Structure 1
Amino acid sequence: MLPFYKTFPFTDYYKNEDEYEKDLVMIKDLYPKDTAMIQSAVERRCDELEYEGSWIYDEVPDRQLMMLEADRIAASFISQQSSRCLICSIVGLLFDSEICRRRCRYRRYSRFW
């Protein structure tokens, strides 16, 4: 007779999350200094949006709202010497990928339970 926890078919389900997290930390260590600062600002803003219970987990988020949030984050990094277009592109890319990562994790947990 098997113990109950071994009868459940997805015992290694959460081990993959640890591996994904390790890979993500390793890749973030390879970012240049400026990009790492932008990534931390993006993560902070996404945490705030999660805390507010905002639109972050909507099935079809509004494109204009996502661009507005990315521009708000980019505004703190734009200076006279930097290129506005480049920083907005980097912030937009990092913001969209962070939202995608969080939504995918949220869906995996929701469907699992």
Structure 2
Amino acid sequence: MEEQQEARERQRMQSYYSRTASDLQRLVEAECDRMDYRGSMMYDEFPDRLMMEHTCRNIARQYGRENGGKDEKTAEEELLDLIGVLFYNEMFRRRSRRKHYYNLWL
């Protein structure tokens, strides 16, 4: 029950995001979905910073390809900080959720 309420609250807050931030959040969540498996670097005790930065750059390139207009390099440079914040926050949320469920089974 509490988890559902938290999910609704999270969706409500994300509805206030700008279009760009919303599009980036969608890409970040899709990438985290691909990385969400047992043994993923996402769940390492100390995730590799270079791999996380590489993942953020890949998300920026994908956003640039999807939105045309600006070249991919410009989009990557302008949005990399925001992508990093969204990505690291999503990783933290998933790691916390997994840790919570893991502790329930101990």
- TM interval, shorter chain, is 0.7 to 0.9
Give ranges in structure 1 of 5+ residues lacking alignment.
1-14
Q: Higher Cα Rg: structure 1 or 2?
A: 1
Q: Which structure 2 residues correspond to residues 13-92 of structure 1 after superposition, within 5 A?
A: 15-51=1-37, 53-78=39-64, 79-80=70-71, 84-92=76-84
Q: Could you tell me which residue of structure 2 aligns to residue 104 of structure 1? A: 96
- TM-score normalised per structure 2: 0.83
Equivalent AA in structure 2 for residue 39 of structure 1: Q
- TM-score normalised per structure 1: 0.78
Q: What is the Cα deviation at residue 91 of structure 1?
A: 0.6
Equivalent AA in structure 1 for residue 21 of structure 2: T
RMSD: 1.8
Give ranges in structure 2 of 5+ residues lacking alignment.
65-69
Percent identity reads 29
User: Is 1:94–2:86 an aligned residue pair?
Assistant: yes
- Could you tell me whether the CA contact under 8 Å between 2:61 and 2:75 is conserved in 1? no
How many residue pairs get matched?
A: 99
